[in-house]
Amino acid sequence: MTELKYRELGRTEIKTFPLGFGGIPIQRLSKEEAVKVIHRAIEGGLNFIDTARLYNDSEEKIGAALKSIDKRIYLATKTPAGTKEEALADVGESLKNLGVDKIDIYQLHNVDTEEKFEKRMSEGGALEGLKKAQEEGKIDYIGVTGHSTELLMKLVKTDEFDTVQLCYNFIEDECEEELIDYCHENNIGMIGMKPFAGGALDNAPVTLKYILRQDGVVPIPGIESVEEINENIEIAKGSWEYTDEEAEVMEKLKAELGENFCRRCNYCQPCPKDIPISMVIRAKSFITRMPKEAITDEEGWIYGGFEKAKKCIECEECIERCPYNLEIPELIKDNLEIMDEFRNN
């Protein structure tokens, strides 16, 4: 057993257990099951939980679990709001759901297009709402999340954010080029989302050790069972060095996934049929992490995205733009089949 290295989240005063708790998958659990998993995580040492307004009842389940806990747990949540008023309303909802007077980190959620950047960062935008909430003592720190490393660089350079939530695993490692160094130099806390690449990676030791070894990034694996949390805690408390066998597995997985793996960078856009490509070519990620009702709701964004995908005209414009040369029209067809099968079962 190695000495446990707590992580400092940049300029915030937050010191976390090496792993945080990702609040997406508890949407799929009953309230009782979710509370049990969260309690086990806290007993095991975790002290940082991340969720979002968009994760259905995840905030409420976390609030329910925290009622009987007197240990200091740091909370982060997120708003998809565009405007100041919407962001302030979301902060109010989150406080109520989580059952606290103050939230440690409130993040702008998934700022992944220039349009979203402009709206949230300009006068009357969501950032202004979060600043107002901060002045009013409702939140401590402001963060941002996104999948585009390029846009995240632009966001952190505004110096408006105490933390950044970046997509990070050994397949999606673009943030190692510049973003991580910039955050270290400017004391911005780093929260690592999708350590398991949205379900594409399933070897926990190989996957988590890669991020744990990167100084300062706190990975927040989505957790939905006591077995998973126990395994993850063991890994965090053990040696983060790869065994020869693990190093081999990582190289093998890299080679296997490299050819078909979408990094969600969105360089393939715009699509003339408005297909949300990076979303529809990862059907399995939704199926394994989201509640079935959220996927099959005909009014929902997931259903709508897959319906749009049926209109692909195979123009291949996206392939030319994809830096990884993914065979996007083929991947769309495969994923539509997977989704159809899921909907019909």
- Site residues (vs ligand SF4, CB under 6 A): 262-268, 271-273, 275, 277-278, 312-318, 322, 324, 326, 328-329
Whole-angstrom CA distances from 165 to 24, 113, 183, 325 are: 14, 16, 11, 26
- Cα three-residue angle 136-138-144, rounded to 5 degrees: 110
Q: Which is nearer to ligand SF4, 6 or 267 (CB)?
A: 267
Q: How far is the CB of 171 from ligand SF4 (least distance, A)?
A: 11
- Cα three-residue angle 260-298-126, rounded to 5 degrees: 75
Whole-angstrom CA distances from 204 to 197, 256, 323 are: 11, 17, 28
**CA-CA distance, 239 to 219, in Å (whole number)?**
16
Q: How far is the CB of 273 from ligand SF4 (least distance, A)?
A: 4
Q: How far is the CB of 327 from ligand SF4 (least distance, A)?
A: 10
The one-letter amino acid code at 216 reads G
Q: Which is nearer to ligand SF4, 314 or 341 (CB)?
A: 314
Q: Which is nearer to ligand SF4, 28 or 264 (CB)?
A: 264
Q: How far is the CB of 41 from ligand SF4 (least distance, A)?
A: 31
**CA-CA distance, 216 to 191, in Å (whole number)?**
9
Q: How far is the CB of 285 from ligand SF4 (least distance, A)?
A: 12
Q: Which is nearer to ligand SF4, 53 or 264 (CB)?
A: 264
Query: How many CB atoms are closer than 10 A to CB 178?
Result: 13
Q: How far is the CB of 25 from ligand SF4 (least distance, A)?
A: 23
Q: How far is the CB of 311 from ligand SF4 (least distance, A)?
A: 7
Query: How many CB atoms are closer than 10 A to CB 304?
Result: 13
Q: Which is nearer to ligand SF4, 233 or 318 (CB)?
A: 318
Contact call for residues 29 and 61 (beta carbons, < 8 A): yes
Half-sphere exposure in the Cβ direction for 228 (13 Å, CA):
19
Half-sphere exposure in the Cβ direction for 16 (13 Å, CA):
32
Q: Which is nearer to ligand SF4, 269 or 288 (CB)?
A: 269
Q: Which is nearer to ligand SF4, 182 or 324 (CB)?
A: 324
- Cα three-residue angle 237-249-218, rounded to 5 degrees: 35
